[in-house]
Structure 1
């Protein structure tokens, strides 16, 4: 019966889902003083009322209070009921994991392989639902209750084209974490990057050692590459190519070869090059960390998963500096749970450091300022790296029908075809078709380490345009309508190609601080984007490389021509000058959601380290951090795959440390 209802619901509401999320867009411009009813009123004004709006808004819109307490979308969600008929969790477990994200899901799965070990996972978000499986809808869910709506603090000279001139930093708020809302791109980082991390005193983290954990999780379905010694074949996480391709990806790969970048498995260690995008999907459907590592094992009697539970404090015995429990809120009630062995924070690069500081672990002066008793003075949040991109290098084409366009592919028939076969445009992860790694002329690296990743899009920011379109990608970035229309309005909803350059190793370093001592407040996030001059110059060099790619015959066959975007801040510069491009980058500076190093890993004596190489918090017993916040240096990777690897490695370290106790 449940499956029948699911099929009926999916077919009925798909034609409404896009417009409902457009209504949600009215919510993201709200301020903290605006009431829920005021936000809802604005949302409804932006979209004509229909019978399904309340149902859809209940599940999709943040902070929406439905008229009915029932959740219609519950039939579309995964379920994680406590086993053994339990109505509430036990008072004590061997391990308590805070966060069911990319690392937390793996960790819970591996630890509960031992039937004598009990694990509780506390997750603030809900289980994922059917529509989160749709790769083409990734951008939508970055503006919903499945996302933490974090914003970078205002910074002069960057994010100028964003609403309120603030960059939006969404993070996953779901069982599955950010792997429920990301673009599913699978990348690992270069060997020399991991070897440098190990050489800094982080024993066990060399490329050779982390490679075994990458392989352990992976089930490669990559045609000619899947038999490679660098790929895994028996893991839970499927990695595959997207079957549907536009002619533009072939042009990208051929242009790369013309300019000296071979077509390769870009996750293999031998060569830098270009390749078809590798994604964590299965048969064209998103495979989140929860789908891969929790769902198949959720019936284990020793694995308890508690969604919609907000951890507010780690409980620490101050006489011994030993963590023994977690305080959390669920259904507006305060609860506590104890751990016989360890507390493990896997809440991600924003929430893990925030929870440490709320618990008395962090910079002395900051905790004192907020009235939090100090337990351990550590540099929590002092370091933050982020990968940023510039999505404004757009080429118009004189050939129609060769790129992704929502006006052509966003139909019910396409969706139903995807449900059956998983191999059309709907399976595309936000239009991403290829990845390329390059070293610009500004790179001083002697090792085989790129400074730019190029993300080839089978379209561009204008591909989601048109009178009835969602405009989900540009809205997901929080681009100002005025800036967007001035820059790209003349080519909206036309055939285009673009490549997003991602700055892999920024010299600019950000930070994270507590806003106050309220666990329900967001932390203060300082990106410090482009504060080092080499970062802006590297972006300009990347623009020149993309232009060189577009000038090759494979792209000229489609009449590729750079679009001269007009940005208000950049009118004083000649178009296509270096000064113009730096101004453009500062206007459309956007995150790719790869924040790291806020709970930085390092050996004893490292003044920036929060955890040791076994991920134990320095100076605190039985407390670890296991997520991407521990990565101490930038790596050439989207952070989902490294986070899964970290979860795998941490599970082995934890089991080893308790084997003989």
Structure 2
């Protein structure tokens, strides 16, 4: 790394702290995993950004004067000196997210075809490389600020009692702002998808595509037959760990859950987090699949281009292009072969409906001419969590506390060696899959995923803390302070329970016919009583974990949070936990099924097993919205896999 690049990295890392009002030279501690310098000097919190920019690049004038990060962003100029895109391409891909990035890279491998990628967001910048500040990006220009429609009895502790659903708005999509967790789902779940009529989607089918993308470097898992080593997507274990992760794994073993590679098909268990990082830095889908291919003369990538409509001949129902808006001007571009929607589980169904494909009554209500009557948006599943189970510890310096970790020496350690606390993926350290006693599934399929945190929801607080996690969830500040104030920014531990297979089903519909309006999204969280029962069973399991000797050595005690939304309820009763759950109901950003895949006999199917939209030719949906049912996974890895598999299907169609 040359000196100027080093300076920029230092600047970016320090700026991430300054933006959140932190003292980057805060007092250190004696933990052996990280050295700190003691210094009482505070970093200026006001004109420092201007000062640093003038110091780093005194003659710099940004292309976009209102964008101070302009110099730091990746660039996607049209290749070969082109000043404007073509008017016609073989393939048009809408969205450069996890699936769209892969698809663009694979289709453009053939130099005889042309590929256009239209992305509504901007290219990522060097700040997004920093794993530890992932929560910060939930409320930035890199996120679509979606909100679920108000629902009585959930998200009661959130601002305006509405659940926040951020989705990635960037070249790289949600892989630019997520927590980088890499999971694939259980074999039985994929086999059930194929058994329902989705040919080619069994576990053995999808495994080869997972492995095709993967370049695994997993400490303790050498030469695994279930991991690829020559792909573009780096999957690695996080280089920095607190003592809490080994405590979590040891406690799991004591309760009968072995330490495993949780992405292998062999058994349920607990394991160290596997993440899409490389040398301690985020590996987004754009970085893995687009950046090194952006100079291909047949691949054109247009950031900040919002597609407003898919163009379909109403007589033949053949897709022939798209309309898009860029720099406040509207354009049309034609597709010789196919248009492929990879805009994600919210924008892809919205765009289908705006283009005349969707429920007949809904389109008629908004004055949209009907092309094809399909149940677009009528199925929506999501993974939700409850972040309010906090255990205090009587041992200091074993957990991550933001104000303690944000030091100059830690930033330098990350820059120079790619390790240290800055590499933690938003403090997530491990994954555990459990099957609670209330599960009625006869197969070895978990109903809860536990995400072991190297701290808890209070780790981002205290004087000078960014409070990025709680703000990223839109938790009301007054409620948070009243509930967790006494333990804010102290040594704690938690595991976030993720409800893997909710029985509650939501839906999505248009607000109006304006492509710049957000759709109306209904999560219907916790409307099925079995979902509440599963959550409570997971809380009892987490409590049992902390009663084991490994956690008791740390003095783990559950914090009796006093929720202002739950007056009069006795702490630790089932009624108390249900009220707490309904207060802090948080999404994990895994919406699926809004463009559900299924055979013709499936009345809820929008696309067929080759991801072609029913009743419309030359149009596919290729992203996580096609997943027909819930799976035990985070959706970034399967979206990339779907892009890999779809590329082969599309090539097969046009060979």
TM-score interval, smaller chain: over 0.9
Q: TM-score, with normalisation over the residues of structure 1?
A: 0.93
Question: What's the offset of the Cα at 1:6?
Answer: 4.9
The answer to whether the 8 A contact 1:17-1:56 is kept is no
Are the counterparts in 1 of residues 217 and 237 from structure 2 also a CA contact under 8 Å? yes
Contact persistence 1:55–1:72 (CA under 8 A) = no
Q: Distance in 1 between matches of 2:249 and 2:544?
A: 13
Cα deviations across residues 167-221 of structure 1 (Å, max 9, x unaligned)? 1100000000000000000000000100111011000000010111011001110
Equivalent in the alignment of 2:14: 15
Residue of structure 2 in register with 1:208 after alignment: 204
Specify the alignment match of 2:561 in structure 1.
565
In structure 2, the residue matched to 1:28 is none
Where do residues 296-445 of structure 1 align in structure 2 (5 Å cutoff)? 296-445=292-441
The correspondence for 2:248, drawn from 252, 263, 267, is 252
Does 649-658 or 404-413 show the bigger shift? 404-413
Deviation at 1:5, TM superposition (A): 5.4
- C-alpha distance in 2 between matches for 1:296 and 1:331: 26
The answer to whether the 8 A contact 2:460-2:468 is kept is: yes
Which position in structure 2 is the counterpart of 1:43? Answer: none
> Equivalent residue for 2:600?
604
Equivalent position of 1:228 in the other structure: 224
On the 8 A contact 1:19/1:470 being kept in 2, the answer is: no
- Pairing 1:459–2:442 present: no
Q: 1:526: which partner in 2?
A: 522
Q: Distance in 1 between matches of 2:289 and 2:459?
A: 34
- Report the equivalent of 1:552: 548
Say if 2:275 is the partner of 1:279: yes
1:192 correspondence with 2:175: no
Give the alignment partner of residue 509 of structure 2, picking from 508, 513, 528: 513
Any conservation in 2 of the 1:313–1:359 contact (CA below 8 Å)? yes
| Among 75, 85, 88, the residue aligned to 1:89 | 85
Measure the CA separation in 2 of the matches of 1:531 and 1:354: 24
Change (3 A) 1:652 1:22: farther
How many Å apart are 1:16 and its aligned residue?
3.7
Distance 1:462 1:339, change over 3 A: same
Contact 2:191 2:203 in 1 (8 A): yes
Aligned equivalents of 2:356, 2:544: Cα separation in 1: 52
Query: Would you say 1:493 and 2:492 are equivalent positions?
Result: no
Following superposition of structure 1 onto structure 2, how do residues 73-112 of structure 1 map, counting pairs within 5 Å?
73-112=69-108
- 1:343-367: per-residue Cα shift (whole Å, max 9, x none)? 0000000000000000000001111
Contact 1:415 1:426 in 2 (8 A): yes
State yes or no: 1:164 paired with 2:178. Answer: no
- Once the two structures are superposed, residues 620-659 of structure 1 have per-residue CA deviations (whole angstroms, 9 ceiling, x without a partner) of 0000000000000000000000000000000000000100
User: What is the DSSP-based 3-state SS (H/G/I as helix, E as strand, rest coil) of the residue aligned with 2:230?
Assistant: coil
Q: Give the deviation of 1:408 after TM superposition.
A: 1.0
Deviation of 1:14 (Å) = 3.8
Which residue of 2 is the match for residue 127 of structure 1? 123
Equivalents in 2 of 1:70, 1:467: separation in Å?
A: 30
Write the mapping of 1:623-638 to structure 2, written as runs, cut at 5 A: 623-638=619-634
Q: Matches of 1:248 and 1:419 in 2, distance apart?
A: 25
What residue number does 2:37 align with? none
Distance of 2:143 and 2:245 partners within structure 1: 30
Instruction: Sort the Cα spacing of 1:286 and 1:56 in 2 relative to 1 into closer, same or farther, 3 A.
Output: farther
Give the total of aligned pairs: 627
Distance 1:536 1:247, change over 3 A: same
CA distance in structure 2 between the partners assigned to 1:492 and 1:307 by the alignment: 40
Residues 234-289 of structure 1: CA deviation (Å, up to 9, x unaligned):
11111111111111100100000000000000010010000000000001100000
**Distance apart, 1:21 and its partner CA:** 4.8
Is 1:479 matched up with 2:475? yes
Asked if the contact 1:283–1:422 (Cα under 8 Å) also holds between the matched residues in 2, the reply is yes
Structure 1 stretches lacking a partner, 5+ long: 24-46, 58-65
Between the aligned partners of 1:509 and 1:651, the Cα distance in structure 2 is: 30
Find the aligned partners of 1:84 and 1:22 in 2 and give their Cα distance.
Answer: 44
Per the TM alignment, residue 72 of structure 1 is displaced from its structure 2 partner at its CA by 3.4
**CA–CA distance in structure 2, aligned partners of residues 396 and 564 of structure 1:** 10
C-alpha separation in 1, matches of 2:159 and 2:419:
35
Give SS of 1:72's match: coil
- Using the TM superposition, give the Cα deviation of residue 68 of structure 1 relative to its aligned residue in structure 2, in angstroms: 7.2
Query: Which is worse superposed, 8-17 or 146-155?
Result: 8-17
The Cα of 1:571 is off from its aligned counterpart by 2.2
* Cα distance in 2 for residues equivalent to 1:21 and 1:599: 38
SS of aligned partner of 1:97? strand
1:650 aligns with 2:652: no
Q: Is the 8 A contact 1:20 1:56 kept in 2?
A: no
Are the counterparts in 2 of residues 328 and 334 from structure 1 also a CA contact under 8 Å?
yes
Residue number in structure 1 paired with 2:33? none
Cα distance 1:397–1:190, how it changes in 2: closer, same or farther (>3 A)?
A: same
> What is the Cα deviation at residue 369 of structure 1?
0.7
The TM-score normalised by the length of structure 2 is: 0.93
Distance 1:603 1:558, change over 3 A: same
* Change in CA separation of 1:144 and 1:332 when aligned onto 2, cut-off 3 Å: same
Q: Secondary structure at the match of 1:545?
A: helix
CA separation in 1, counterparts of 2:21 and 2:405?
17
